[in-house]
Amino acid sequence: MGAAPIRVVLAKLGLDGHDRGLKVVARMLRDAGMEVVYLGLRQTTGTIVDAVEQEDADVVGISMHNAGHLTLAPLIVAALADAGLGDVPVVIGGVVPDEDLDELAAAGVGAVLGPGASAVEVVASVRGVVDAGVRATGD
C-alpha cells in the first residue's frame, strides 16, 4: 500500500471575503491526489488550529488578500506551535510584496504563492513544505 495522501486544511483568515482563488487551489490539490479540508471564509486562528488537529492535517494553506499577511501569518504559525502542532507547515497565498518574503520566512511560513501561481507551482510548494517537515522531524 502506498503512502497516505497529503491532508491539507485551506481557509480564509479574518474578514477577507474573497475565496474564489482558494477554491481553485482546493481543486488543484485534489486533482493532484491530496485530501483537502476547505474551511471557507472568515475563520479564526482557533478554528483553523482545531481543524488541523481534528483532521490530522499535514499542511495549512491560508489565502490572504487583505494586506494582513505580516500580522496574520505569524499568528497562525504561533497558534499551531502553542497547540503542539508546530511541525505542521503553513503556506500562504495572495498578494504579498517581495520585500515581505524574508520576514514571513523568519516567522515560520513555509512557502508563499502569489497571484497566478500555476497548479504545478501550488502542488510543488505544498509537497515541498511537507517533505521538508518530514525530513526535519525524522518521520
Which three cell numbers mark 50? 482545531
What's the pLDDT score for residue 74? 93
Q: Dihedral (C-alpha) 124, 131, 97, 60: value to the nearest 10 degrees?
A: 100
What's the pLDDT score for residue 107? 94
CB atoms within 10 A of CB 22: 24
**Regarding beta strands 111-113 and 7-13, do their DSSP bridges make them parallel or antiparallel, or are they unpaired?**
unpaired
Q: How far, in Å, CA of 32 to CA of 98, rounded?
A: 28
What's the pLDDT score for residue 17? 63
What's the pLDDT score for residue 18? 66
Which residue ranges form the domains of the chain, and what is each CATH number? 7-133 (3.40.50.280)
What's the pLDDT score for residue 2? 60
φ, ψ (nearest 5 deg) of residue 109: -75, 130
The answer to whether 45 and 81 have CB atoms below 8 angstroms apart is no
Q: How far, in Å, CA of 126 to CA of 81, rounded?
A: 19
What's the pLDDT score for residue 139? 41
Angle at 10 between CA 97 and CA 102, to 5 degrees: 25
pTM: 0.89
Q: How far, in Å, CA of 58 to CA of 116, rounded?
A: 24
What's the pLDDT score for residue 40? 82
Q: What is the mean pLDDT of each run of 10 residues along the chain (139 residues)?
A: 85 72 90 94 91 96 83 93 95 91 94 92 96 56
